[in-house]
Amino acid sequence: MHLEAQILEMHAITNDVYSMTLQCPGVADSAQPGQFVHVAVAQPGSTDPLLRRPLSICDADRSKGTVELVFRIVGRGTRLLAGRQASERIDLMGPIGTGFRRPRPGRVPLVVAGGIGIAPLHFLCRALLSVGVSPYVIAGFSTRSDMILVDRLVRYGAKVQVITEDGSFGLAGKVTEYIERAAQEINSHSHGEVELYACGPLGMINSVREWCLETGVFGQVSLESRMACGTGACLGCVLRVITASGEERYERVCVDGPVFDVRRIVTC
């Protein structure tokens, strides 16, 4: 779908993270956790920046027909977006991509979020909770003032453990240091087998992948890549994957992903 959506609400969550809520029933209706929208950032009449920016769907409300994006300012595209105001319209394509597969019956989702990577996982958790599945979330941030979306997850009923690198809130350290402990806790309490869901910086994804491969836990990670088309046409956003038959090839993060089974990732 390609449309102009009206911005209903726009506010800063932290210093550099913004929440933008859009009126777009079509997207809200069909959005799946892990999918994203591809957003035009240039001013009308300007061809710079030329390309759209992919942003995960952080929340979708079918009854209201709204979609929420939560994004961090890292460059000029996100800075331009942060300058947009409620009642303005924004050009977007979506929902795009292959999202998260729901856990198999009886499995317990362990959700590992790093920084702004919590955005798509927020939508995933809401969707899981709405069908009675209770995720266990470990969410890492650099410091307490970077913490986002945790309060909302807790409110919906998710169990959330916050980890900050500087120990200013919750446990101290890196989120990946706590995966094993979280998995054991899940096992001891619920006796359910764990399935892992993750999104965050590359270093975190790599640790998550290794842990999954070592423990045999089924893991899905949402990955990023620089994108042009967002439709699968340009082959620009590819990731090296290993197929079931053991052969390596490039797959498109935009439509074959952005969510990948960790076992298929070669390098990222």
Partner 1 sequence: MSCTVDARVDLSVDIAGVKLKNPVMVASGTFGFGTEYAAYMDVSRLGAIVTKGLTLQPRTGNPPPRIWETPAGMLNSIGLQNPGIDAYLEHHLPALRAFKVPVIANVCGDTVKEYAEIARRLECHEGADAIEVNISCPNVERGGIAFGSDPRSAVAVVEAVKRATSLPVIVKLTPNVTDIAEIARACEGAGADALSLVNTLLGMAIDIYRMRPALGNVFGGLSGPAIRPVAVRMVWQVREAVDLPLIGMGGIASFEDALEFILAGASAVAVGSGTFADPACAIRVIDGIGQYMANNGFERVSHMVGLAHKCR
Ligand X SMILES: Cc1cc2nc3c(=O)[nH]c(=O)nc-3n(C[C@H](O)[C@H](O)[C@H](O)COP(=O)(O)OP(=O)(O)OC[C@H]3O[C@@H](n4cnc5c(N)ncnc54)[C@H](O)[C@@H]3O)c2cc1C
Ligand Y SMILES: Cc1cc2nc3c(=O)[nH]c(=O)nc-3n(C[C@H](O)[C@H](O)[C@H](O)COP(=O)(O)O)c2cc1C
User: What's the CA gap between 151 and 251, in Å, rounded?
Assistant: 36
Residue 242 is a binding residue for partner 1 (CB under 8 A): no
Q: What does the binding site for ligand FES look like in residue numbers (CB under 6 A)?
A: 227-230, 232-237, 252, 254
**Range in contact with its own copies (rule: CB under 8 A) among 45-53, 166-174, 198-206, 246-254:** 45-53
User: Which x/- pattern, by CB under 6 A, does the window 54-73 give for ligand X?
Assistant: xxx-x-----------xxx-
Output 202 or 234, the one with its CB closest to ligand Y.
234
User: What's the CA gap between 259 and 220, in Å, rounded?
Assistant: 6
Q: Find which of its own copies, ligand FES, ligand Y, none residue 46 binds, CB within 5 to 8 Å per kind.
A: its own copies
**Range in contact with its own copies (rule: CB under 8 A) among 32-40, 46-54, 118-126, 176-184:** 46-54
Helix, coil or strand: residue 134: coil
Distance, C-alpha 235 to centroid of its chain: 22
Residue 74 is a binding residue for its own copies (CB under 8 A): no
Q: What order do you get walking across the sheet with 17-23 strand by strand?
A: 53-56, 36-39, 89-96, 2-12, 17-23, 66-72, 59-61
Residue 229 is a binding residue for partner 1 (CB under 8 A): yes
Output 54 or 170, the one with its CB closest to partner 1.
54
Output 192 or 232, the one with its CB closest to ligand Y.
232
Q: State the CB neighbour count (10 A cutoff) for residue 247.
A: 8
Chosen residue from 113, 119, 186, 204 binding ligand X by CB under 6 A: 119
- With tokens 């270093």, the residue in question is 203
User: Which x/- pattern, by CB under 6 A, does the window 13-42 give for ligand X?
Assistant: -----------------------x------
Minimal distance, residue 254 CB to its own copies, in Å: 24
b/e sequence 104-136, b meaning 16+ C-beta within 10 Å: eeebbbbbbbbbbbbbbbbbbbbbbeeeebebb
Residue 47 is a binding residue for its own copies (CB under 8 A): yes
CA 225-226-230 angle, to 5 degrees, is: 90
User: What's the CA gap between 239 and 261, in Å, rounded?
Assistant: 12
Name 91's bridge partners.
4
Q: Using CB under 8 A as the criterion, which residues of the chain lie in contact with partner 1 when the complex forms?
A: 1-2, 40, 42, 47-52, 91, 93, 225-240, 249-250, 255
Q: Using CB under 8 A as the criterion, which residues of the chain lie in contact with its own copies when the complex forms?
A: 42-49, 76, 79-80, 83
